[in-house]
Structure 1
Amino acid sequence: MIKPTPCDHEHLAALVTAASTFSPCVDVADQWGTALAGVLVGGGRLLAAGNGGSAAQAQHLTAELVGRYRSDRRPFSAICLTAETSSLTAICNDYPGEELFARQVEAHGREGDVLVLLSTSGSSPNILEAARRGTACGLRVWAFTGPRPNPLADLADESLSVDADYTATVQELHLVGLHILCAALDRALGVIPARTREDLDGPRRTA
């Protein structure tokens, strides 16, 4: 039976309910950020992929690493496989759909790199094949999924699985997990808060 879509305050209530059991996922995300710092400082790379809203979140993650999360630090190598439009269309045109991300993983991934895969259902065929290819190439596979059990969580080395009934709620808490991961990475790197213009020039004078 399909549950009705929660609206207005019911949407918030669904998020609050899921957030009340999110604590184990916080620990996972925090540990991932610490581990990722070691990988990136050692010259490794992060690859990320997802479909739909999860594609946007994969791109959000790589942007935080190439740019910054909150504080100034050196940029790190991170590639969002969902944003490579020419590669995506070429692969879809010439290969089975399951190869969409897997072929890019094989091209860009190196042993010891990290592959982050996001799927609210945990059953998207192109994401599952990317997980298999990542494992075969020696990458660490980390999965953001919805409730367990699901195939992606089973294939991944580790998973952050949100226990929620609705896709929107899962995605909202995936974003929280991504931000916790980024904050943990910065903490592991000893990054100081970014200096603002006021820090550089002193307080602005008012007329």
Structure 2
Amino acid sequence: MLRAAHAHCQSLQEALVSLREGGLEQVAQWGRHLAAILPVGGRLLAGGNGGSAAQAQHLTAELVGRYQRERPAYSAIALHADTSSLTAIGNDYGFEELYARQVAAHGRPGDVLMLLSTSGRSPNLLAAADTGRAAGLRVWAMTGPRPNPLAFRADEALCIGSGSTATVQESHLVALHLLCESFDHEVGVPGDELPDGAASVDGDGAASGGGVVAPYPPP
């Protein structure tokens, strides 16, 4: 058990080094982009499967609520969180259309669609990416190692070069926290003190990650 724990930590450490060397500017740019569109009525749509769904919902919660310090609420929708829509779409159209139909309903040109997948091969996320780009959304992906279909179908992707699903998911969480830090900085959130009563908040910063940026120009 101890050997496995050391191997897990080593995998995470290597991913963090990779993120610092190859992914920070990409994450910071994503934060800048969201800071340019959300305050003027744009929105973020996010989705994933399993643990990646939890990561997507974590991100939207940080934007609708707050990350570390007080600021206005911004529009961010976790596409898996509406269970009635989710089950109706799955029942009537199939699991592959789970996200694509919601993107068609909620997405507007100029919005951002963030898709998270450790494999980058989930059919429902691939369909969502195609629908999003066709509708004029900016599609971002966080995935596991390249090459994978989701990275190529997104406008931009942050790919975690690890064979461990756990490391990929943990790295995604760190990247999402860094994205929130960039966003808050760009929208002018004060960095000197927390709001009253918020000595401890859920969005607590970073721990680890690892990535290789994989841009994909829109057609």
Q: Same fold (TM over 0.5)?
A: yes
Distance 2:58 2:122 in 1: 20
1:82 to partner: Cα distance: 1.1
- SS for the counterpart of 2:145 is coil
Question: Does the Cα contact within 8 Å between 1:25 and 1:162 map onto a contact in 2?
Answer: no
Deviation of the 1:195 alpha carbon: 2.6
**Alignment-derived partner of residue 202 in structure 2:** none
Whole-Å separation in 1 of the counterparts to 2:149 and 2:159: 12
Number of residues of Structure 1 aligned to a counterpart in Structure 2: 194
What CA distance in whole angstroms lies between the structure 2 residues aligned with 1:92 and 1:126? Answer: 10
Q: Note the C-alpha offset of 1:7.
A: 2.1
Equivalent position of 2:174 in the other structure: 176
Q: Shift of the alpha carbon at 1:197? A: 4.5
SS of the residue aligned with 1:20?
helix
Instruction: Output the CA distance in 2 between the equivalents of 1:26 and 1:164.
Output: 17
Q: Report Cα offsets for 1:129-172 as digits up to 9, x if no partner.
A: 00000001100000000111110000000001111110100000
Q: Secondary structure at the match of 1:115?
A: strand
Percent pairwise identity? 60
Q: Give the counterpart letter for 2:65 in structure 1.
A: G
- 1:96 aligns to 2:78 (yes or no): no
Aligned pairs for 1:139-178 within 5 A: 139-178=137-176
SS in 2 for 1:55: helix
Rounded to whole Å, the distance in 2 between the matches of 1:43 and 1:197 is 29
RMSD of Structure 2 on Structure 1 (CA):
1.5
User: How many Å apart are 1:198 and its aligned residue?
Assistant: 9.6
Name which of structure 1's ranges 126-135 and 93-102 shifts more when overlaid on structure 2: 93-102
CA displacement 1:87-146 (0-9 Å, x = unmatched):
010001100221000000000000000000000100000000000000011000000001
Match in the other structure for 2:64: 66
**Equivalent residue in structure 1 for 2:55, among 35, 54, 57:** 57
Distance 2:197 2:35 in 1: 28
Which residue is equivalent to 1:3?
none
Give 3-state SS (helix, strand or coil) of 2:95's partner.
coil
Task: Provide the C-alpha distance between the structure 2 equivalents of 1:195 and 1:120, rounded to a whole number of angstroms.
Answer: 35
Tell me which amino acid in the other structure corresponds to 1:178: L
Gaps of 5+ in 2: 200-219
Distance in 2, matches of 1:47 and 1:25, equals 22
Q: 1:42 aligns with which of 33, 40, 43?
A: 40
Which residue in 1 is equivalent to 2:190?
192
Q: CA 1:89–1:28 in 2, change beyond 3 Å: closer, same or farther?
A: same
Q: Which runs of 5+ in 1 are unaligned?
A: 1-5, 200-207
| CA offsets 1:50-109 (integer angstroms, 9 cap, x no match) | 000000000000000000001100000110001111101000110022100000000000
Moved over 4 A (4+): none
Question: How has the CA–CA distance of structure 1 residues 184 and 198 changed in structure 2, closer, same or farther, with 3 Å as cutoff?
Answer: closer
Partner of 2:125: 127
Distance change (3 Å), C-alpha of 1:129 and 1:197:
closer
